[in-house]
Chains A and B, each alone.
Chain A
Amino acid sequence: MGLSFEQAEIRQGSFVLGADLALPPEGHFAVIGPSGAGKSTLFQSLAGFIPLSRGTIRWQGQRIDGLPPGQRPLSILFQDQNLFPHLTVAQNLGLGLDPSLRRLDWAAVEQALEAVGLAGLGPRKPSQLSGGQQSRAALARALLRARPVLLLDEPFAALGPALKAEMLELVARMTGDKLVLMITHDPNDALHFAPQTLVVANGSVQPPRATASLLTNPPPDLAHYLGQPTRAIPARVGHAPHHP
């Protein structure tokens, strides 16, 4: 069953994105595609911020496209602004268990902090953490929420390569039982994190394909985005003298 888009369509002005595919209830998927192709739009729609203009989204057979964002079976990490700067790190995590912060199992919060390597940093404000630590805190909250689906909208894009690799490794380790979708611009991230990849291009979300073979033998529109010459676009090869 898992997550299925049934003839779903998102329309924003003249921009149209169609999705008709099914994903299993567990597994790690990369989402790649040219800028402006609609990767973030797809996530925003799945998370409940942009309504579908047509079709349905189901999770385990249940329709979820009409639910408010906070009640969907998923957590999302944005590119930035994942933490409230005026609340402590522990409070930010606590929101994942009880948004009113009234009846909270603070021990669970501390455990989650420990799990991502932030033991003892709960009383701090987010501004007192490094960028990598902030990412960990946001991830810890997503884990506390214990939703079966996790959407990563490039939350680690601002981190350096080493930190990013470390975070991806952490995510991979902590989310083995979840369906994780991750937008990325870096083919290496996709290769390391996700055995399968969704390509968003030309107004549609294409069904998942094995990441390795997709990257070694990309379809033309993806190849253009990745900057690799292919036989499918001979003109490009001719105009690219730096690619012998």
Chain B
Amino acid sequence: MARRAGALIAGGVALATLAPVAVVMAQAGGRGLTAPDLAALRFTALQATLSALASVTCAVPLARALARRRFPGRGALITALGAPFLLPVIAAVLGLLAIFGRSGLLNAGLRALGLPEVSIFGLGGVVLAHVFLNMPLATRMILQGWQAIPAERLRLAESLGFTPRHYWQHIERPMLQDVVPGALLAVFAICLTSFAVVLTLGGGPAATTVELAIWQAVRFEFDLPRAASLAVLQVLACGGAVLLAGLVARPSGFGAGLDRVLPLPAPAGWRKGLDALVIGLASLFLAAPLLAVLARGLPGLAGMPAAVWPAAATSLAVAACAAPLAVGAALTLALGRAQGRRWLGPVAMLPMAISQLVLGTGLFLIVFPFVNPASLTLPVTILVTALTALPFAYRILAPETQTLQADYGRLAASLDLRGGAALRLLVLPRLRRPLGFALGLCAALAIGDLGVIALFATEDGQTLPLVISRLMGAYRMGQAAGAALILVALAFAVFWICDRWGRHGTEL
């Protein structure tokens, strides 16, 4: 049964991702690329490159400081680095606007000093937001590299009397050469398909990405052939980036070595001051926008427009459908992969290569001849959100199912423990913790997601992120911040509930 379920799910995922792509390819036929299309492609590549470089450049010193210093709150800070992943992008943008926007703290300070103001809109703002959202991810990836340096190698270095310069030359630089390309490509691939950031901080001929141009082509110009040919462009760009990232990504670390962790040497003097400065600045950069959302949102809570509550309910409903869908599919694929069907792994990662707006355009083109797309807003949003979350859930579950299969696969097979009974008696009890984590992650992603729904939705059937973006578009920033606060609270709450379910009652 599991065998058939795996193949069935894989077929469904492949169909749901590739059919829209096939449709846009068919519709795009014959139409060449125009100057605005190429400008969008150029801007997409430029902002993604700059975002990746800036994120990783900031992440390296931060990861190094976190790797070699021990201080109270270090564990909490590293955990908090995971939070921006759960944070709805639209809320992050609001927070950044509160700090770096026209009436934000930074410009207020600059004005007080008589200095010229800076603008958060355009390339600079897009890159700034991408750094805010992705620098923590890059930091965690690079920090893992530092932590994976085997204790044996550190002991050898110490016995040879290495100075910090020698450490850099013989240990840290080679490690970074291994880890940094993967981090760069991961951030680059994420930024290629970024939509909400560019929707709110970009725009105009000078700062439009392919993803945003697709949205404009569908929503404003209703130029479906143009949307289709832009979507093909996006497929090629993302597919290339994901393929490249897959080639560069290497299994973690140079040899597992011993579990015992030898602390890295923590040089004193100016290096200590520098590390403290880096950690302080990074914490400020990451915390200030969140605090700003809180500060601006609390007063806004009083005057919420009526549309916020049904939108919040819709967002919760989308998450309640999409998260179990994504996690269920990911679990089936991961179990199949663990039982030796290797081709299921790439299928699970396939949605990474296809952006939300491409999927959305394809689905729009498929349903448009038959029904009003707006009437399918919710099913399409659920489907696309679940597909987008699937690779994340799969990455969480794959190593765990591998371990489960290695430890108990043969015992279960020898007892003929299969199908529903295996799910109930073996998989759910053993994988409860990663399942809860994956479920929480997918639900938080689904709640905060602003992507395909922007293509389909009309006034009703809105999700909360869409309402917030429309409030921002109407310059009702107080209300937007209040709604964003609710959104953040919902995202973190569903994550917390699911994760707690996973941790609760886990015993070995």
Contact = CB atoms under 8 A, between A and B. Distances in A.
Interface string B419-455: 0111011100110000000000000000000000000
Contacts of A76: 414
B410 A100 contact: no
B415 A70 contact: yes
Interface string A68-112: 111100011010011011110001000110011100000000000
Contacts of B422: 99
Contacts of A47: 410, 414
A interface, size bucket = 20 to 34
A225 interface: no
Most buried by B among A48, A82, A85: A85
B411 A78 contact: yes
B209 to A, nearest CB: 48
A7 interface: no
A70 B411 contact: no
B418 A127 contact: no
Given A81-B407, A127-B508, A99 B413 contact: no
Contacts of B414: 47-48, 69-70, 75-76
B416 interface: yes
A45 to B, nearest CB: 13
B508 A99 contact: no
A99 B418 contact: yes
A71 B415 CA distance: 8
Contacts of B426: 84
Contacts of A48: 413-414
Given A81-B407, A84-B426, A86-B508, A101 B421 contact: yes
A15 to B, nearest CB: 19
Most buried by A among B410, B411, B414, B430: B414
A86 B411 contact: no
A86 B429 contact: yes
A115 to B, nearest CB: 19
Contacts of A70: 413-418
Nearest to A68: B413
A69 B420 contact: no
B168 interface: no
A69 B416 CA distance: 7
Interface of B: 407-408, 410-411, 413-418, 420-422, 424-426, 429-430, 507-508
8 contacts: A69-B414, A70-B418, A76-B414, A86-B430, A86-B508, A95-B425, A99-B415, A125-B507
Q: Which 10 A-B pairs have the closest CB atoms?
A: A70-B416, A100-B421, A69-B413, A99-B417, A86-B429, A69-B414, A95-B415, A99-B421, A99-B416, A76-B414
Given A86-B507, A99-B425, 19 more contacts: A49-B410, A68-B416, A69-B414, A69-B416, A70-B414, A71-B416, A75-B414, A78-B411, A81-B408, A84-B425, A86-B430, A95-B425, A96-B415, A99-B415, A99-B417, A99-B421, A100-B420, A100-B425, A125-B507
